[in-house]
Amino acid sequence: MKYYLGIDVGSVSTKLVVLDDGWKLAAHVCIPTHGEPAAAVKQGLKIIEEQLPSNVSIERVTVTGSARELVGKMVGADIVKNEVTSQAVAALHYFPQARTVIEIGGQDSKIILLRDGLVADFSMNTVCAAGTGSFLDHQAQRLGLSLEKFGELSCRSNAPARLSGRCTVFAESEMIHRQQIGGKLEDIVFGLCQTLAHTYLNSVAAGKEILPPVVFQGGLAFNRGMVRAFEDELKTGLVIPEYPELMGAIGAALLVGRQITDKPTRFKGFDL
């Protein structure tokens, strides 16, 4: 079998996957970037190597994500691709009928419109954290909740708190106020989910025609409160991949695996 490595280096987390030539997931890892993408990739490569049989060699490598240029040179990538292309390729691979991709990462978020199997339009937000995963992560830490517990509580809410989505600072102030006047915790946390969904749809997705099927990608797709908030806003169900946090890396591996070339790989190996 041939094996293809996809690396997605984000500002919050770094994902590495290996696909075989039947497009099955042979190895994968997701680790915090901690502001050091090079170190995170080195650590990820060691973990991936341990997951693979000793006789496996990597045929080709693609790097995507915010630090793709740096890491691409470091590992000897055969292709360096942007996140929109990688996310779209992965979505269409698993869900060929998909027409919209919502992808929310730790520090950025994006919407991708797919029409007839091609990217027709996209938009990204990298300026304000109010529409990203770090917003919920920060509030969960303030409340002393794990993100899993945060999602569970959100699903119990029957009267979500109305919070400002203009800015993380305003939302946090209002959240504290709700706590002080005795608001239920489940209503506050689901109110935060609604705020993030509303902010995303009115900034990143503003003016975009969101058509189903809608695929929700990125680590935030694990949060059941966020899934509920988007489904309430969009009046449609969301499609959640098996590994939503890995879709950028999977798309990168698919891109290089489908490329027809006789050139040898430039991959420098697992032991950088």
User: What CATH number is associated with residue 106?
Assistant: 3.30.420.40
CA nearest 62: which of 243, 248, 263, 246? 248
Claim to verify: residue 62 and residue 120 sit in the same structural domain: no
CA separation, residue 24 to residues 48, 63, 93 (Å): 15, 19, 12
Q: What pLDDT does 169 receive? A: 61
Residue 165's pLDDT is 55
Same domain, 34 and 124: no
- Read off the tokens for 119: 């990217």
| Same-domain check for residues 109 and 2 | no
CB count within 10 Å of CB 159 equals 11
Are 100 and 227 in the same domain? yes
Residue pair 226/220 in contact by the 8 Å Cβ criterion:
yes
- Domain span at 234: 96-240
Task: Yes or no: say if 6 and 252 are a contact pair by the CB < 8 Å rule.
Answer: yes
Could you tell me if residue 33 is inside a domain? yes
The verdict on 115 and 216 lying in the same domain is yes
Judge contact between 196 and 232, C-beta under 8 A.
no
Burial 250-265 (b: 16+ CB within 10 A, else e): bbbbbbbbeeeeeeeb
Q: How many angstroms separate the CA atoms of 4 and 52, rounded?
A: 12
Residues near 265 by beta carbon (within 8 Å), at least 6 away in sequence: 58, 59, 60, 61, 76, 78
| pLDDT computed for residue 164 by the predictor | 62
Instruction: Extract the runs of DSSP E, i.e. beta strands, from 1-78.
Output: 3-9, 13-20, 25-32, 58-65
* Whole-angstrom distance, CA of residue 3 vs CA of residue 174: 50
Same domain? For 236 and 255 the reply is no
Residues 72 and 161 grouped into a single domain? no
Q: What is the pLDDT of residues 181-199, one digit of tens each?
A: 777 888 888 888 888 888 8
In this structure, the answer to whether residues 102 and 133 fall within a common structural domain is: yes
Residue numbers of the chain with a pLDDT score lower than 70: 126-133, 164-172
Domain assignment of residue 90, yes or no: no
pLDDT at 126: 58
Alpha-carbon distance 146 to 48, whole Å? 27
Partners of 216 in beta bridges: 102
The pLDDT score that the predictor gives to residue 244 is 95
- The string of pLDDT tens digits covering residues 77-117 is 999 999 999 999 999 999 999 999 999 887 788 999 999 99
CA dihedral 205, 210, 215, 221 (to 10 degrees): 40
Pairwise CA distance, residues 30 & 49, whole Å: 14
> Domains in the chain: how many in total?
2
8 Å CB contact between 208 and 191:
no
At 151 the pLDDT is: 79
In a domain, 192, yes or no: yes
- Given this model, what pLDDT does residue 185 score? 83
235 and 147, same structural domain?
yes
Q: What is the pTM of this model?
A: 0.90
Which tokens belong to 151?
Answer: 């999602």
Residues 251 and 236 in one domain: no
